């Protein structure tokens, strides 16, 4: 691989810091453990922020570290304003923010507004009776005359989305686990309380929020049944997959709530807001949540995260959903995260894992929008195989063996190839570390010019250096069965991003091939000749 940097005009000083940013996702349980309990913690993150800063990213995103019974590993929050003792203290969080800022890194945190833990004080009070001050802070409904749930809505994790509570003599709604009751966003007091949570963390210095599963935050108050989904022929492992999710989620009130989140964050300056939006066809909802000027800054979808393979026509379609228009938000992209099998394994045979990990990085930095790099992606980590007895993910356990689950993407970071537990902890970690990940440990790759880690540093710094890559316009030139060609432009800068995503050689050349200079290439790509699974980025010289 080679990269070349050249002097270039300074970016617009009025540009928002987050526009075009590369953001590194940290899953706290699996990053680094400092107290020897086998679970990562906030001091472990702080101790390794130099590694993150050296990658060339502009921000970190922390998955939940709030107090929680951990039935869904932090996405079941029992106290929004407290760090779970498993991860440390509020003082540890403040130290993390201070160190990140000293290194030039912004800090983005998850906010889970669609539901809480059933151990949250709000829910404990709400379920006590039908007349207490928080009685309507959650979604409660009477049984049908035959005692069955109020609607046919199904939970993402399997089974009905309603659980009976004898104290109230009613059912409560939960789109995920039964221990994750949905808040009632139709109640303005709930709206205000959630905005108070956001203000608490903004006052502590955070620079942005990722709003988890935000399209599940409000339901149809008329409690209409969801219609059945058409059978596409694909294997359906959950009752959830048998319905069109029209009434249990995506109520229009959510768009008004995210506008209030945006208005609050604007009080604090350049705070980044990004929504996670999933679903079978979420683009209209994604555009609604990010409608400018009052919507969120960006949206984080699953177009690539759940794609079983990557191919040019998919990229053409996904990028085409986000034209450069002022009324639309700014897109964000990720190939891997804590909820999806790692892309190096999803999109390649075992023999091609290394080549595809390298190709993925070059492709990711070429996309118009923000990019998220998931911890371990800079090392080329593959999806871990987790034996059934070692599974922790409730979805994987419930649907085993048809669902890969999330544990295989959540295994601990390998820091030292020869240390016990790969340097992650002095104790047995909460998930096993695959032996083949030891060979990819940070210490093995740190000073290796040919390593995935070195490539990551080079490519992320190149993206930050070239406005055409980070904030420029994007034009699709070619998207056929295996070739993908993107033109990226900003001012007088013009780049071509050329890829062969197929497994046979290919070639492509611009009209004046001699007027281009290669800035970066992976997997043997030379000027306009593309071996299988290769790519290059070239700059116009005239």
In a shared domain, residues 407 and 287? yes
pLDDT at residue 12, as a whole number: 59
Classify residue 340 by burial, with Cβ atoms within 10 Å: 0-12, 13-18, 19+.
buried
Residues 482 and 344 grouped into a single domain? no
Residue 143: inside a domain: no
Is residue 144 one of the residues assigned to a domain?
A: no
Hey, is 216 helix, strand or coil? helix
Contact 82, 204 (CB under 8 A): no
pLDDT averaged over every residue in the chain = 94
Residues 383 and 326 placed together within one structural domain of the fold: yes
Q: How confident is the model at residue 8 (pLDDT cuts 50, 70, 90)?
A: very low
Query: Catalytic residue numbers?
Result: 212, 267
Give the pLDDT confidence of 337-364 residue by residue, as tens digits.
999 999 999 999 999 999 999 999 999 9
d(CA 477, CA 363): 15
Q: What are the strands, taking DSSP E only, across 442-509?
A: 473-479, 483-490, 493-500, 506-507
Same structural domain, 260 and 361: yes
So what's the pLDDT on residue 392? Answer: 87
Q: Are residues 208 and 343 both part of a single domain?
A: yes
Sequence-distant (≥ 6) Cβ neighbours of residue 538 within 8 angstroms:
495, 496, 498, 516, 517, 518, 519, 527
Residues 381-408 have pLDDT tens digits of 999 998 888 888 887 887 777 666 799 9
pLDDT at position 14: 60
- Domain range for 375 is 17-116+186-463
- Concatenated DSSP letters for 314-363? HHHHHHHTS-S-TTS-EEEEES-BTTB--HHHHTS-GGGHHHHHHHHHHH
- Do 111 and 59 share a structural domain? yes
Q: Residue 243 domain-assigned?
A: yes
Place of tokens 């029992």: 78
Residue 36 has pLDDT above 90, yes or no: yes
Structure confidence at residue 75 (pLDDT): 96
**CATH for 432:** 3.20.20.80
| 214 and 239 share one domain | yes
Residue 176 domain-assigned (yes or no):
no
Domain C-terminal end among 445, 463, 481: 463
Q: How many domains does one find in the chain?
A: 2
| Beta pairing class for 106-111 and 506-507 | unpaired
Residue 25: Cβ within 10 Å count? 23
pLDDT at 3 over 50: no
Contacts of 380 (CB under 8 A, 6+ apart): 344, 353, 354, 357, 358, 440, 452
Read off the pLDDT of residues 171-226 as tens digits, 9 standing for 90 and up: 999 999 999 999 999 999 999 999 999 999 999 999 999 999 999 999 999 999 99
Same domain for 480 and 389: no
The DSSP secondary structure of 136-178, one letter per residue, reads TSB-EEPPPTTS--SS--B-TTSSBSEEEETTTTEEEE-SS-T
Same domain, 61 and 191: yes
3-state secondary structure (DSSP) of residue 258: helix
* 451-479 tens-digit pLDDT: 999 999 999 999 999 999 999 999 999 99
> Does residue 129 lie in a domain region?
no
User: For position 13, what pLDDT does the model report?
Assistant: 54
User: Which residue, of 463, 494, 519, is where some domain finishes?
Assistant: 463
**pLDDT at residue 397, as a whole number:** 80
Report residue 10's pLDDT band, with 50, 70 and 90 as the boundaries: very low
Any domain includes 3: no
Q: Are 511 and 422 in the same domain?
A: no
Q: Residue 149: is its pLDDT beyond 50?
A: yes
Please check whether residue 131 lies inside any domain of the structure.
no
262-313 pLDDT, tens digit per residue, is 999 999 999 999 999 988 779 999 999 999 999 999 998 889 998 999 999 9
Residue 503 has pLDDT above 90, yes or no: yes
State whether 296 and 404 are in the same domain. yes
pLDDT at 1: 43
Residues 371 and 502 in one domain: no
CATH of the domain at 484: 2.60.40.1180
Does 444 reside within a domain?
A: yes
Kindly report the pTM of this predicted structure. Answer: 0.95
Residue 376 pLDDT more than 60? yes
**Domain end (from 439, 463, 487):** 463
What mean pLDDT comes out for the span 142-155?
A: 98
Residue appearing with tokens 């016990």: 420
């Amino acid at each position: 691989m080679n990269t070349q940097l050249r002097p270039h005009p300074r970016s617009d000083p009025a540009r928002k810091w987050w526009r075009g940013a590369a953001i590194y996702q940290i899953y706290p349980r699996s990053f680094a453990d400092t107290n020897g309990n086998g679970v990562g913690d906030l001091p472990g993150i702080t101790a390794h922020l130099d590694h993150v800063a050296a990658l060339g990213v502009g921000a970190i995103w922390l998955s939940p570290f709030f107090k929680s019974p951990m039935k869904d590993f932090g996405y079941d929050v029992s106290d929004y304003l407290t760090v779970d003792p498993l991860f440390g203290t509020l003082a540890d969080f403040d130290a993390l923010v201070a160190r990140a800022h000293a290194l030039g890194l912004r800090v983005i945190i998850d906010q889970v507004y669609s539901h809480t833990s059933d151990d949250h004080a709000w829910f404990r009070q709400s379920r006590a009776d039908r007349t207490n001050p928080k009685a309507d802070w959650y979604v409660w409904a009477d049984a049908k005359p035959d005692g069955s749930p109020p609607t046919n809505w199904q939970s993402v994790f399997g089974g009905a989305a309603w659980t009976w509570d004898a104290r109230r003599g009613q059912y409560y709604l939960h789109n995920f686990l039964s221990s994750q009751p949905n808040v009632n966003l139709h109640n303005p007091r709930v709206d205000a309380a959630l905005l108070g949570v956001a203000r608490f963390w903004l006052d502590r210095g955070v620079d942005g929020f990722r709003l988890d599963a935000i399209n599940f935050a409000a339901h149809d108050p008329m409690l209409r049944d969801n219609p059945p989904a058409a059978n596409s022929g694909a294997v359906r492992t959950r009752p959830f997959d048998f319905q069109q999710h029209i009434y249990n989620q995506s109520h229009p009130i959510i768009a008004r709530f995210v506008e209030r989140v945006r208005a609050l964050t604007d009080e604090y300056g350049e705070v980044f807001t990004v929504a996670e939006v999933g679903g079978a066809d979420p683009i209209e909802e994604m555009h609604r949540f990010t409608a400018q000027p009052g919507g969120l800054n960006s949206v984080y979808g699953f177009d690539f995260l759940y794609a079983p393979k990557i191919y040019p026509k998919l990229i053409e379609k996904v990028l085409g959903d986000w034209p450069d228009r002022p009324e639309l938000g700014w897109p964000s992209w990720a190939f891997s995260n804590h909820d999806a099998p790692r892309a190096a394994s999803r999109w390649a045979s075992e023999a091609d894992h290394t080549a595809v990990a390298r190709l993925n990085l070059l492709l990711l930095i070429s996309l118009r929008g923000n990019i998220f790099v998931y911890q371990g992606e800079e090392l080329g980590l593959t999806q871990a195989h987790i034996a059934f007895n070692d599974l922790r993910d409730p979805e994987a356990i419930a649907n085993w063996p048809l669902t890969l689950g999330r544990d295989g993407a959540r295994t601990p970071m390998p820091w030292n190839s020869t240390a016990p537990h790969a340097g992650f902890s002095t104790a047995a970690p909460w998930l096993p570390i695959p032996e083949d990940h030891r060979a990819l440990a940070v210490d093995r790759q740190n000073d290796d010019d040919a390593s995935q880690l070195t490539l990551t540093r080079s490519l992320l710094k190149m993206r930050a250096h070239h406005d055409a890559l980070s904030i420029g316009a994007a034009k699709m030139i070619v998207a056929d069965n295996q070739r993908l060609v993107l033109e990226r432009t900003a001012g007088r800068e013009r780049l071509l991003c050329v890829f062969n995503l197929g497994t046979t050689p290919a070639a492509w050349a611009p009209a004046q091939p001699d007027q281009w200079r290669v800035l970066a290439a992976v997997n043997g790509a030379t000027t306009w000749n593309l071996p299988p699974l290769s790519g290059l980025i070239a700059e116009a010289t005239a």
